[in-house]
Amino acid sequence: MTALTTRPALAPDALDDVDLADPLLHARHDLGPLWHRLRTEAPVHWQPERGDQPGFWVVSRYDDVVAVLNDTATFTSERGNVLDTLLAGGDSAAGKMLAVTDGGPHKALRSALLKPFSPRALDVVVDSVRRGTRGLVEEAVRRGTVDFAADVAAHIPLAAICDLLGVPPSDRQHIIDLTSSALSSADGAPTEEATWSSRNGLLFYFSELAAARRAKPLDDVVSLLVTKEIDGRPLTHEQIVFNCYSIIMGGHETTRFAMIGGLRALMERPGQWQALKTGQVSTASAVEEVLRWTTPALHSGRTATQDVFLGGQFVEEGDIVTAWMASANRDERLFDRPEVFDLARTPNKHLTFAHGPHFCLGAFLARAELTALLESLCERVAVAEPAGEPGYVYSNFLSGLSSLPVTLVPER
């Protein structure tokens, strides 16, 4: 069996030497020891300016991350909720797209979107996720050796979101290609042009789809958005397009990285795999630990709207504040043996879906997709083994593997 190599741990002499905005840092290193040091020595750490890159606060302890995410009046998302847009000076979708809107408008938009994301409304989508996932796993097992990332995991979340949004099957590969290059890159740091062109490609696609649904509404989320009124007014075309973008960006790569990272963790720990297969641990508990372990969204970004003390530090109005779920989910103050992948972990109050008013809208769907995957793997696969080295994504926001070659031995 090929044992997978692990990435070198980062052990800097000075914390100020580290640039957490650098995608290469996240792709090439195991940042576990760095996060431990930050939580211990500098839980609210100022990463200094670098050339024309502004400085920003790095929040690493669980309780401080929760405090930031809960208080949207003091820590707003309206200037962006990811480091790259905050460093670039703001988000053009602010006040229009759910994730970067706060206060009353956020509440109104969120309640308009809650219904299609409710467990009952998602019944049909989840049914189709189960069938689709079983088919993909069966096909992978039949082939024996596959790239689990490209051949299995890439298709499950995207199919679910496309079902939800009403994207026809013929357009789905186009959407996969655009989505994967909009936030991360599989072959080096993403260039600004590549990111810009993919984002615009997605916005253009949804602009056309919204126009089509306006002319002839169907039973999907795009149709709901084009027919919905908030405070007696229809959503603007921009609001509709930005929110479709947000749903696809929020739900595709994140869930995919949880799936790939989950399989890797199971391959590396045959005891945990057996515990899951034999029913010694429940799938529901396993899903939560896969979510904590993988933490696909590394941070949530905010801007301080007023001067405030946070973790003993004085944060000034206008400062960029980044709350790192990647660190909070390994905080020894909350989790017993956080560096152990334990499918039976309980309680498991991870922050993978964030916390507070912006808590992930797609959490139920993501959990259902991971459940379908683990169930299909347990049913069809006796043993999963690495068949080559994995590839890491280059991103300071998303964490995961861009490829994972595996050999799947069928269950008899």
Candidate residues 110, 134, 214, 237; the one interacting with ligand HEM per rule CB under 6 A: 110
User: Distance between CA atoms of 173 and 401, rounded to whole angstroms?
Assistant: 19
Q: Is the dihedral of CA 211, 115, 363, 126 positive or negative?
A: negative
Tabulate helix, strand, coil % of the chain (nearest 5).
50, 15, 35
Find the binder of ligand HEM among 10, 65, 98, 122 (CB under 6 A): 98
Kindly state the smallest distance separating residue 129's Cβ from ligand HEM, in Å: 10
Residues 113-172, interacting with ligand HEM (CB under 6 A): 161
Q: How far are the Cα atoms of 158, 184, 190, 229 from residue 196, in angstroms, in the given order? A: 21, 12, 10, 30
Candidate segments 136-144, 208-216, 260-268, 354-362, binder of ligand HEM by CB under 6 A = 354-362
Among 258, 276, 328, 404, binds ligand HEM (CB under 6 A): 258
The token pair at 48 is 């200094």
From 72, 74, 77, 180, residue interacting with ligand HEM (rule: CB under 6 A): 77
Report the nearest approach of ligand HEM to the CB of residue 21 (Å). 17
Cα 174 from Cα 157, distance rounded (Å): 15
Q: Which residue is nearest to ligand HEM (CB)?
A: 362
Site for ligand HEM in 1-60 (CB under 6 A): none
What whole-number distance in Å separates Cα of residue 160 and Cα of residue 124?
A: 10
Only segment of 35-43, 294-302, 340-348, 376-384 that touches ligand HEM (CB under 6 A): 294-302
| DSSP label of 29 | -
Residue number, 255 or 407, with CB nearest to ligand HEM:
255
Does 224 interact with ligand HEM (rule: CB under 6 A)?
no
- Segment contacting ligand HEM by CB under 6 A, of 16-24, 145-153, 170-178, 346-354: 346-354
239 binds ligand HEM (CB under 6 A): no
Which of 241, 361, 372, 393 touches ligand HEM (CB under 6 A)?
Answer: 361
Q: Cis link prior to 347 (omega < 30° from 0)? A: yes
Distance of alpha carbon 302 from alpha carbon 83, whole angstroms: 8
- Contacts (Cβ under 8 Å, ≥6 apart) of 151: 136, 139, 140, 143
Omega prior to 157 cis, within 30 of 0 = no
The residues of the shown chain that bind ligand HEM, judged by CB under 6 A, are 69, 77, 81, 98-99, 110, 161, 246-247, 250-251, 254-255, 258, 296-297, 300, 352-354, 358, 360-362, 365-366
